[in-house]
Amino acid sequence: MPRTEGLHVADDKREQLIDQYRGTRDVSEKLCDPLAIEDYVVQTIPEASPPKWHLAHVTWFFETFLLKVFVPRYRPFHPLFEFLFNSYYNSVGAQWPRSRRGELSRPTVEEVYAYRACVDEAIVSLVNTATVADWAEIAWRLQLGINHEQQHQELLLTDLKQNLSLNPLYPAYREDLPAPSGRQAPALSWLHFEPAEPLIGHSGDVFAFDNETPRHRVLLQGFRLASRPVTNGEFQAFIEEGGYSEPSLWLSDGWSVLRAHDWDAPLHWRQIDGQWFEYTLAGLRPLNADEPVSHVSYFEADAYATWAGKRLPSEQEWEHAARGRRVDGNFRERGRFHPEPAEEGRKKPLQLFGDVWEWTRSPYGPYPGYRRGEGAFGEYNGKFMCNQMVARGGSCVTPRDHFRASYRNFFYPHDRWQFLGIRLAEDA
């Protein structure tokens, strides 16, 4: 953790951190501008929290880990908010059950926005008055909180999509989202990578989550990586050839989940009068065969790869392919909020960043030399390193300035409410 030198904290450092904080907080509220008041409380599955809860939880994070620690005699906005809006920090205290967040009609949306405003004012005051002795720790915690809120901005959109998708009216989050581009996906090709011993992970010279470190060297055999993600049209062929009814393609746990939930297509696909449609944040649209397939579980991704005679890449192979490439793509800032077809003529592999998170075959676990942080911060990533799989690359609702090539996302194999897609690989 960096330490501030000198006898005072420069005003420009304070202003820069406040601007970053305010900018992040403003984005969260702008994302909620299109919502009706009724949209703020709906929760259709345990994984998808209501928008109101997201807005309050990220505020609780700043209040709990900054204001309660560094402001003498700080009085919480409400004594029970710590119980209602703590997500999973057991070392902080008990939490309202995740699956029941949609039951909380109170506090009202108006009260949650008042909570945000109150905490914002206190955070700005804290940054402006922080002493040299406290500055480094405050700055680091605030940076963590900003990145934490950016994660919840992505969750807010994916959770909202899940919650709206079950409404038979198929309402749009926004009516003004761009129409499909009309591009056709380029033909799939294969990129060859020679055996290598690359460094994997973040250097730690600027902010990164602890699960991206420490940087370490790995041994990779030669492999080939698909030039773009699998498209809706290609996945539709898997469906039409009986992919969801052939047990030999599926992992045992995947087959059990498929049968228990009657899966026969990706989440948000709807077949109406023999034609496939897809629910999007712009409402229900005819399925676009050239867009990357999304909202598939690890089990579906693995079954498709088996059907295609390929495999999923390891996260080390994925990062090796991404190393040194400019992080650019269809992220949230592009304003589409939906995957788009790959664009021919760009450097391959295409769509490595943005559009859809790409499943890897790597279990989510610690890097060599990783040590979980002390106290509550050790619960941020470390305690989830069991029974989950790594996804890489970001999605169409990931903030661009939040993402980097070493970023590790992780989900349970059955999860598919996120923009999760497939890129194939094979041994050389």
Rounded distance between C-alpha atoms, residue 20 and residue 7, angstroms? 24
Q: Can you give the pLDDT at residue 6?
A: 47
Q: Can you give the pLDDT at residue 266?
A: 98
Cβ-based burial of 404 (10 A; exposed 0-12, middle 13-18, buried ≥19) = middle
Cβ-based burial of 101 (10 A; exposed 0-12, middle 13-18, buried ≥19) = buried
Residue range 11-165 forms a domain whose CATH class is mainly alpha
Look up residue 107 and give its two tokens.
């506090």
Q: Can you give the pLDDT at residue 2?
A: 44
With CA atoms as reference, report the closest residue to 107 among 116, 120, 95.
116
Q: What is the DSSP letter of 347?
A: P
Q: What is the DSSP letter of 267?
A: T
User: DSSP strand E in 47-96: where?
Assistant: none
Rounded distance between C-alpha atoms, residue 331 and residue 320, angstroms? 21
Q: Can you give the pLDDT at residue 1?
A: 42
Rounded distance between C-alpha atoms, residue 325 and residue 405, angstroms? 8
Q: Can you give the pLDDT at residue 7?
A: 55
Contacts for 136 with CB less than 8 Å, ≥ 6 apart: 1, 2, 3, 4
Q: Can you give the pLDDT at residue 309?
A: 98
Half-sphere exposure of 49 (CA within 13 A, CB side): 22
User: Tens digit of pLDDT for each residue in 125-138?
Assistant: 999 999 999 999 99
**What SS3 state is found at 91?**
coil
Domains of the chain, by residue range, sit at 11-165, 190-427
Amino acid at 279: Y
Q: What phi, psi does 123 have (nearest 5°)?
A: -65, -45
With CA atoms as reference, report the closest residue to 214 among 367, 406, 380.
367
Contacts for 69 with CB less than 8 Å, ≥ 6 apart: 141
Q: Can you give the pLDDT at residue 95?
A: 97
Residue range 190-427 forms a domain whose CATH class is alpha beta
Listed as ranges, residues in the chain with pLDDT below 50 are 1-6
